[in-house]
Amino acid sequence: MKTANNFTFNSIKNNWKALFATSNLVSEIGNKLAEKLGYEYPEKLEIDIRKYFNYLRNKQ
């Protein structure tokens, strides 16, 4: 049900909320999967991507 609530797309504000909610979900699943498979989750890459998302959102 987490994904169903993310995609309303009736405004730019809701688009950003959906993007960040989806990013949180990908992070949650990615961390669990990486741990289970014995891989290192790319934390720095995630942080950099989130910084870029924030940069784009604040640029509007």
* H or E stretch at 30: helix 12-37
Look at residue 2 and tell me if it is in a domain.
Answer: no
Q: How many domains does the chain have?
A: 1
Look at residue 38 and tell me if it is in a domain.
Answer: yes
What pTM did the predictor assign? 0.80
pLDDT digits (tens, 9 = 90+) for 19-42: 999 999 999 999 999 999 999 999
Question: What type of residue is 11?
Answer: S
Look at residue 7 and tell me if it is in a domain.
Answer: no
pLDDT digits (tens, 9 = 90+) for 36-50: 999 999 999 999 999
Q: Is the pLDDT of residue 6 over 70?
A: no
Place of tokens 């784009």: 56
Nearest-5° angle of CA 6, CA 7, CA 10? 120
Look at residue 29 and tell me if it is in a domain.
Answer: yes
Residue 40 DSSP one-character state? -
Instruction: Look up residue 27 and give its two tokens.
Output: 């992070």
Look at residue 3 and tell me if it is in a domain.
Answer: no
Look at residue 6 and tell me if it is in a domain.
Answer: no
- CA–CA gap between residue 19 and residue 17 (Å, rounded): 5
Look at residue 49 and tell me if it is in a domain.
Answer: yes
Give me the domain span that covers residue 49.
12-59
